[in-house]
């Protein structure tokens, strides 16, 4: 188990339960109904957004990683299911094991699945946050070595 990923996924679960998939700013009509007319303007101090602003960036990235797992075949779907049952629904460990097909009492196997989930999420997050995202790839270094090795093999 990767502690930092576990903490991020716990936070994702809390955000998912609190905001769900839908989020956004409240409608104008809702504001009119709430304030019985136009909402006051120019009042000093902070205001709480009535509809909420949705999940934060970290939770959105975890959500995208879990969605990617869900698209990656049967193993990925099982890992995504484990993530949702473990962190969003907070189901008991026995139920999680039953849902993903682990025999009851196979605690070590369950811990291996959780570790695998954390490894896969870390890998996806690393790929998503690549430092060259949006930029062309850097030039390859040591290309002369590659060229020299192909010339030697040709002789």
pLDDT along the chain (155 residues), means of 10: 94 87 60 68 53 75 94 94 96 93 92 96 89 55 48 49
What pLDDT, on the 0 to 100 scale, is given for residue 96? 94
Q: What secondary structure letter does DSSP report for 137?
A: P
What pLDDT, on the 0 to 100 scale, is given for residue 39? 65
CB atoms within 10 A of CB 25: 13
Is-above-0.75 flag for pTM?
no
Q: How far is CA 103 from CA 4, 84, 91, 95, 109, in A?
A: 28, 19, 16, 11, 9
Closest to 81 in 3D by CA, of 70, 95, 73 = 70
Contact of 23 with 51, CB cutoff 8 Å:
yes
Contact of 59 with 83, CB cutoff 8 Å:
no
Closest to 7 in 3D by CA, of 59, 50, 52 = 59
What pLDDT, on the 0 to 100 scale, is given for residue 50? 46
What pLDDT, on the 0 to 100 scale, is given for residue 63? 93
Assigned token pair, 77: 């779907």
């Amino acid at each position: 188990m990767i502690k930092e990923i576990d903490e991020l996924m716990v936070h994702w679960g809390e955000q998912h339960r609190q905001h769900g998939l839908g989020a956004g700013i409240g409608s104008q009509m809702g504001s009119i109904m709430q304030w019985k007319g136009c909402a006051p303007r120019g009042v000093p101090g902070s205001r709480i957004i009535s509809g909420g602003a949705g999940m934060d960036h970290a939770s959105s990235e975890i959500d995208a990683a879990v969605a990617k797992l869900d698209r990656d075949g049967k193993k990925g779907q099982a890992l995504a299911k484990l993530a949702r049952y473990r962190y969003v629904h907070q189901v008991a460990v026995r139920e999680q094991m039953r849902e993903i097909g682990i025999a009851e009492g196979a605690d070590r196997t369950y811990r291996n699945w959780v570790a695998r989930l954390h490894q896969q999420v870390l890998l996806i997050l690393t790929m998503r946050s690549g430092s060259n995202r949006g930029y062309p790839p850097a030039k390859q270094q040591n290309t002369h070595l590659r060229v020299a090795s192909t010339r030697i093999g040709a002789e």
